[in-house]
Structure 1
């Protein structure tokens, strides 16, 4: 557990008038997520990520106005609460729930994408390569040859991205749309979680996350994917830009696990296996990646 993150969430709770005796770490990754009490969750961002946390707050407020179900902010103002240069956002704790399935993801994405692209939300354009070089260069898990290969791969994909084919109209996209970022309440109502990567961009970026679960990893069945396509109304695999987006998303998933493996050594083997798959050392897709949370 990061003592710096604990100090930040402790100080933020004090500023917000919340108790600190029940603080409990729930998840540690690029951000840390803490249970504050039975009704409140705190998400602690990286140092210097105030704009990203502010974006989450703006998006959550906007989603509530336009009627797209999502996680709710606590009644604390202003948010984020900033401790030095570390932002902390307080959210309402979800009631008992389960993780979503691909149909839940499709329904929520259909709602989100149908809203369009508001001019007053101040969202950045999608950057599919955000933090990838940092993840790689900061890692102690990979060796120099692996690092250099990944950096070259990032550069190559950036060049290809400049020639990305046209597709569906740009809109607000979630940016990390998978079943782990959807919660379904006991009454069946599904809500979007983790708004950190929301941006303006091609809706295909949200759709490719589910498509590769079939084609790249065989984590879902063909019938599940057909249901996803039927509910959303579009099969991204038929779009000329699919392979580029697939390759980029796979690289993001691999580098994220490299980052997490630096905090949890039990993930090192899987992280290195993923990189070897991308380098062509384990044959073609589907690869037997182990799902991670």
Structure 2
């Protein structure tokens, strides 16, 4: 945990009148999540990401008006709270819950993708390669050969992306839609979490995350994937752009673990294994990636 992150969340709490004696670190990653009290959590963004956090606030407000179930903002104003150049967004803490099922993901995505894209949220166009070079360029986890391969692979995929075939109509997309970003409470109500990657783009980008859980890793059963496509109404694996999106999503998953391994060395072995799978050193899919890392 960085001192700057703790200082930022403490100062933000003080600005809005929240007690800081119970602050507890929940998760540390690209953003840092803190429990403030029984009703509130705080998400601390990276330095210089104020606009990014402001957009999350606008998205949460829009989803509420559009009646799409999602994580709710805490009753704190203004949002985000900015400490120096570090944004802090306060959210309502979820009631007891568990991760969603692929059917919950499909149902929420269908509802989201059917909405007319808003013109006043300032949503960017999807960038599937955002922060990928930064995840590996300064990493002390991977060797030079792996790093250079990843950077070349990013460049190759960027070129291919320019020729992405047409598919479903562009819409608002979640950007990181998987069961870990859906929570289901004791009443069976499912809500979307993590609004950081919302953008305008091809809906297939949201669908591919579930498709590769079957095709790339066997993390779900065929019956589960069939229910997913039945609920959503489309099977992305039949789309000509699927392979490109699959490869890009897999690269994002591998490089994210490289980034996390820089903070938690226990993840290094899995991070290197994932990269080597992409390099073709462990045979063809499905690979034995460890889920939920």
TM class, shorter-chain normalised?
over 0.9
* Structure 1 residue ranges, 4+ long, deviating more than 4 angstroms after superposition: none
8 Å CA contact retained: 1:116, 1:170 = no
Query: Are residues 1:174 and 2:174 paired?
Result: yes
Give the distance between the partners of 2:118 and 2:169, measured in 1 at CA.
13
Query: Are residues 1:135 and 2:135 paired?
Result: yes
- So what's the TM-score if we normalise by structure 1? 0.99
Unaligned 5+ segments in structure 1 are none
Match of 1:46, SS? coil
8 Å CA contact retained: 1:160, 1:244 = yes
| Correspondence 1:164-243 to 2 at 5 A | 164-243=164-243
The alignment's C-alpha RMSD in Å is 0.7
The one-character-per-residue Cα deviations of 1:61-100 (angstroms, maximum 9, x if unpaired) are 0000010000000111111111111110000000011110
What's the counterpart of residue 38 of structure 2? 38
Give the distance between the partners of 2:227 and 2:190, measured in 1 at CA.
17
The answer to which of 149-158 and 133-142 deviates more is 133-142
- So what's the TM-score if we normalise by structure 2? 0.99
| Correspondence 1:5-154 to 2 at 5 A | 5-154=5-154
What's the counterpart of residue 257 of structure 2? 257
1:292, distance to aligned residue in structure 2 (A): 2.8
Give the distance between the partners of 2:167 and 2:241, measured in 1 at CA.
8
1:121, distance to aligned residue in structure 2 (A): 1.7
Match of 2:228, SS? helix
8 Å CA contact retained: 1:24, 1:34 = yes
- Matched residue pairs, number? 293
1:50, distance to aligned residue in structure 2 (A): 1.1
Give the distance between the partners of 1:120 and 1:155, measured in 2 at CA.
32
Give the distance between the partners of 1:277 and 1:178, measured in 2 at CA.
21
Give the distance between the partners of 1:284 and 1:217, measured in 2 at CA.
11
Unaligned 5+ segments in structure 2 are none
8 Å CA contact retained: 1:161, 1:244 = yes
